[in-house]
Amino acid sequence: MTQLEHLTPRRIVVALLVLALCVASAAASWALGRSTSDPLGSPAGRVATADLTPDLVTNVAYQQALVAAPTGRPKVTVIGTGGTIAGVATDRGSFTDYRAGQIPIADLVDDLRPEIDVVAEVETIQFGNKGSGGYTIAEFHALTLAVEKALKTSDGVVVTSGTDTMEEFAYWLDLTVQSRKPVVMTGAMRPTAAGTVDGPGVIGADGPANLYNAITLAGSRVTTCFGTVLMLGDEFHAARDVTKTSSYRMDTFQTRELGVLGWVDGTNIKVGRAPARVAACDNPQRWATPFDLSTITAAAIPRTEIIYGYQQAGGEGITGFADAGIKGIVTAGTGAGGISSAQSAARTAAVAKGVVFLSTTRTGSGSVYGGTTGSVIAGDDLLPQKARLLLMLSLAYAGGDVAKVRTWVSTIGNPEWDTVASSAGTPPGQLKPAA
Ligand code: SIN
């Protein structure tokens, strides 16, 4: 194999973006580092805004977002939905025995004062206060509209949630928020208070630091055009690719094959790589997804479900969903997407009834390829729970056009890189045009 053959489309995307972002990152680090080294240690020195030198940054819209900092502190809205970060433990030493979704988000932000007031002008919205798994798709729809509304007047938004389905909150927002301003998800693996909502802090609670860093990151504007990012334990990840890998560990969030986007080290925000969609920052239409939720009601979003693959799995699950009128099913198959004979037969029958399938793997990483026509679509490296959200939104907007669903599934947030010249004469090495 030659050196060039190692350059898979994904590697080329990542390499080019790293190159572009290195420039921006170097400039951001310079600007942010300058703030940190303020010899007087003045309050203004804590503000992580990036006053970049324009000609150091190649992406015009990205550059403008960073240089167009308002005078003074950035404005950040924190939208609380509950989870462990809002949790109350039985005592200060209890990390696992607690009630999630108890402490109001305004109190969590107040506990960061006065320090957070130096970082940003923060306002809070209590969207809900419960465990992450309790949210419905209708509530997700409303959350997107709340984020969009907040971004009309704020420089960035932080959304707090439980960590169990935080990756789904994050990817949903990534797919649906039309604004290019920063959206940062955060939460905690340990509850914040002991005894009562205003009780003493749980030993080693990670929530306060995560919230502080998430506000710092959102206010810095460094993730402009990144879509939604997920920040925990000083690391931030792309919503599409991050996943919760452990039920208890503090470093539970991992982006298995691609790694973190960057780190928040005090006021130094380091960007190691960027999601591919930042390349479209200069073109708002191309940057945005087709899923503008202001144009549809929550009721218009069809139910989609997930079926797991395993040894001699029965087909009744698929048949039952199809009979119940489910419009889309994601299979979390073995290896490169394999499903059992019974599931395969049930799938064929369901397709005949108009159900659209998205084929993914239960392995937790790696891709599923194949099938360029028909109602069984390859989900590439999307995790099943992420694929379900993309399928759901695609079905809602495609108006029954399965080819459109297929195109969106294979392009949105997952740009294919043309490795050969297209028939239209596009030279190799270009992002395929957006659908
Ligand atoms: C939840 O997801 O709401 C509970 C678990 C957590 O926040 O870590």
pLDDT per position as a tens digit, 124-180: 999 999 999 999 999 999 999 999 999 999 999 999 999 999 999 999 999 999 999
Q: 132 CA to middle of ligand 1, Å?
A: 6
CA distance 414 to 360: 14
Q: Please report the pLDDT score of residue 410 as a whole number.
A: 83
CA distance 185 to 163: 10
405-427 pLDDT, tens digit per residue, is 999 998 886 655 555 555 555 55
Q: How many CA atoms lie within 13 A of 349 on its CB side?
A: 15
Task: Supply the pTM of this predicted model.
Answer: 0.86
- Looking at this protein, which amino acid is placed at residue 333? G
337-370: string of b/e by CB count within 10 Å (b at 16+)? bebbebbbebbeebbeeebbbbbbbbeeeebbee
Q: Please report the pLDDT score of residue 370 as a whole number.
A: 85
96-140 pLDDT, tens digit per residue, is 999 999 999 999 999 999 999 999 999 999 999 999 999 999 999
Is 372 a residue of the active site? no
In this predicted structure, which of 176-185, 246-255, 267-276 has the lowest mean pLDDT? 267-276
Q: 101 CA to middle of ligand 1, Å?
A: 8
45-56 pLDDT, tens digit per residue, is 455 544 333 333
310 pLDDT above the threshold of 60:
yes
Q: Please report the pLDDT score of residue 20 as a whole number.
A: 44
Query: Is the minimum distance from the CB of 192 to ligand 1 under 6 angstroms?
Result: no
19 pLDDT above the threshold of 70:
no
Greatest pairwise CA separation for the chain in angstroms: 72
237 pLDDT above the threshold of 80:
yes
40 pLDDT above the threshold of 50:
no
Q: Using 50, 70 and 90 to split pLDDT, how confident is the model at 74?
A: very high
Query: Is the minimum distance from the CB of 162 to ligand 1 under 6 angstroms?
Result: yes
Residue nearest to atom 1 of ligand 1 (CA): 162
Q: Which of 77, 84, 243, 361 is catalytic?
A: 84
What percent of the chain shows pLDDT beyond 90? 71
Query: Is the minimum distance from the CB of 205 to ligand 1 under 6 angstroms?
Result: no
Q: Using 50, 70 and 90 to split pLDDT, how confident is the model at 70?
A: low
Q: Please report the pLDDT score of residue 169 as a whole number.
A: 98
Three-state secondary-structure class, residue 78: strand
